[in-house]
Amino acid sequence: MGLFKKLITAVRGGAREVGEAVVDMNAIRIYEQEIEDAKNNLARAKQDLTAVMAKEMQAEREIKRLADELVKYEGYALDALSKGHEDLAQEVAEKIAEIETEQDSQKAAREQFVAHTRRLKSIMKQTEGTIRQHERELAMVRTTESVQKATRSISDNYGAGATRLLDAKASLERIKQRQQTHYDRMDAASSLDAEIGSESLEAKLKGAGIADAEKAGSDVLARLKRKAAVN
């Protein structure tokens, strides 16, 4: 939100000095620094996450191993009891209590790792959001600046003289005129095509002796001879 509002104020303010920044450089530097920091935090959080998830998996494996141990020693204890080795059963029971204590502490550690993972993931999500927002806002500032820079170049080039941009109506008029000329030419060309087409039809007819054929020299001579005979 921050830069968006600043941009609106800056752009709506309109008449600013040529070359003046849209948003002061300090604000931009702060944003860039924040993006940089956020990216570093994100990279660190990703590393931490990998480490914590590895520890979580380790704890998980250890819990599983201890559970297997428990089953095994409980079997031993029951065996010892059934065979009347009360003392041995007592010893095994102590071992079982030890394993259970170890298992409890592993479970507590696993809970901590799970919570840590959750916290890191939420931090990463938040950080990614911050980066996205800052980058979008910076893109807006940069775009505004490059448009203003382009506008200055364009008005420098089209400021005056022969290359001056016309007003909208005059431009439209000229474009329409040019299009009309283009269409007229196309019309002329197509009627010319039609004429040439009909000429070629006539030629075909003549060729087939249907329309008036070209007068041949021999025909003329024959006519002249007939005329001479009459006289």
Return residues touching another protein (CB under 8 A).
14, 138-139, 142-143, 145-151, 153-154, 156-157, 165-172, 174-176, 178-179, 182
Least distance from another protein to the Cβ atom of residue 126, Å: 23
Least distance from another protein to the Cβ atom of residue 150, Å: 4
Which of residues 150 and 210 has its CB atom nearest to another protein in the complex?
150
Which of residues 12 and 227 has its CB atom nearest to another protein in the complex?
12
Q: Which two tokens stand for residue 157?
A: 């080039």
Torsion of CA 194, 199, 202, 207, to 10 degrees: -130
Least distance from another protein to the Cβ atom of residue 21, Å: 15
Which of residues 183 and 203 has its CB atom nearest to another protein in the complex?
183
Give the span between the Cα atoms of 217 and 147, in whole angstroms. Answer: 80
Least distance from another protein to the Cβ atom of residue 1, Å: 19
Which of residues 170 and 220 has its CB atom nearest to another protein in the complex?
170
Torsion of CA 170, 176, 177, 183, to 10 degrees: 170
Query: In this structure, which long-range contacts are made by residues 140-147, counting pairs with CB atoms below 8 Å and at least 24 apart in sequence?
Result: 140/3, 140/4, 140/7, 141/3, 141/7, 141/22, 141/23, 141/28, 144/7, 144/10, 144/11, 144/22, 145/21, 145/22
Which of residues 46 and 176 has its CB atom nearest to another protein in the complex?
176
Which of residues 60 and 145 has its CB atom nearest to another protein in the complex?
145
Give the span between the Cα atoms of 177 and 73, in whole angstroms. Answer: 101
Q: Which of 147, 155, 152 is nearest to 18 (CA)?
A: 152
Least distance from another protein to the Cβ atom of residue 166, Å: 5
